[in-house]
Amino acid sequence: MFIMLYYKDPSTSQEIGRAYSLASRPGSDTLELYISMVHGRFTSKLDTAKVGDIYYVSGPYGQFRFDPKKNRKVLFIAGGTGIAPFMSMLRHIKEKGFDIDAVLIYSVRYPTEIIRKSELEDFAKSIGLKLVVTVTRPQQGDNWTGETGHINEEMVKRHVADLTERDCYVCGPLNFTNAMKAVLSNLGIESAKVKADVWG
Ligand SMILES: Cc1cc2nc3c(=O)[nH]c(=O)nc-3n(C[C@H](O)[C@H](O)[C@H](O)COP(=O)(O)OP(=O)(O)OC[C@H]3O[C@@H](n4cnc5c(N)ncnc54)[C@H](O)[C@@H]3O)c2cc1C
């Protein structure tokens, strides 16, 4: 699910709003959002937000849903802050104790951009999540020993041997979700088995 976050400029009364996915688990009394600061119209406002500014939310909205009772074998693919809905789902799975076989492939530019790293690693122990993080812009001195480069057919095949048995969920910016739909399609996954939350 996502919410709309709005800012109203007090001097002009102009309002601007953007959609943000919820990382909080269903039923949580807090809203956790992961926002990429892309220096656009809204994120520039957020970047300089100060006490006294008024932001408000509406929602929740959206159809990017996962029913752990129906979909036991899933593949989640996240690009950057596109990890948000999967964080919400994984927290829900853990809290309710659902028996799920989930693989998460998570693409970030730098290791420092991995959101909630220790919580994600903990899901491996608590709910058996298979976590694959790939860093697309590894730097010397990162000491990164995991996957590198963009998610492609070869990487998915290597980590998800039983891909055809899984329902696939993809979330992130438009370019990313388009690329991932193409990767899954090239691997023979019919589009009906792929749900995408597209931010564009
Ligand atoms: C359903 C939905 C859920 C969303 N959830 C999230 C979320 O959880 N976290 C999040 O960060 N964003 C999310 N977005 C995107 C968000 O709504 C805004 O589009 C984003 O924050 C940019 O707004 P802006 O006004 O700062 O940029 P704009 O002024 O609208 O755009 C400025 C420039 O930045 C580029 N740009 C916009 N978004 C990105 C991006 N993500 N990466 C790189 N370049 C970009 C645009 O192409 C444009 O050139 C979601 C969008 C949708 C539709």
Would you say 162 and 155 are in contact if contact means Cβ atoms under 8 Å apart? no
CA–CA gap between residue 78 and residue 16 (Å, rounded)? 26
Atom of ligand 1 nearest to the CA of 33: 8
Domains of the chain, start order: 2-61 (no CATH), 73-199 (3.40.50.80)
Task: Using the mean position of ligand 1's atoms as its centre, give its distance from the Cα of residue 162 in Å.
Answer: 33
In this prediction, residues 154-160 reach a mean pLDDT of 98
Please tell me the pTM assigned to this model. 0.94
Of all protein residues, the one whose alpha carbon is nearest to atom 7 of ligand 1 is: 20
In this prediction, residues 86-104 reach a mean pLDDT of 96
> According to the model, what pLDDT value does residue 179 have?
98
Of all protein residues, the one whose alpha carbon is nearest to atom 27 of ligand 1 is: 40
CA–CA gap between residue 155 and residue 119 (Å, rounded)? 23
- The rounded percent of the chain whose pLDDT value lies above 90 is 87
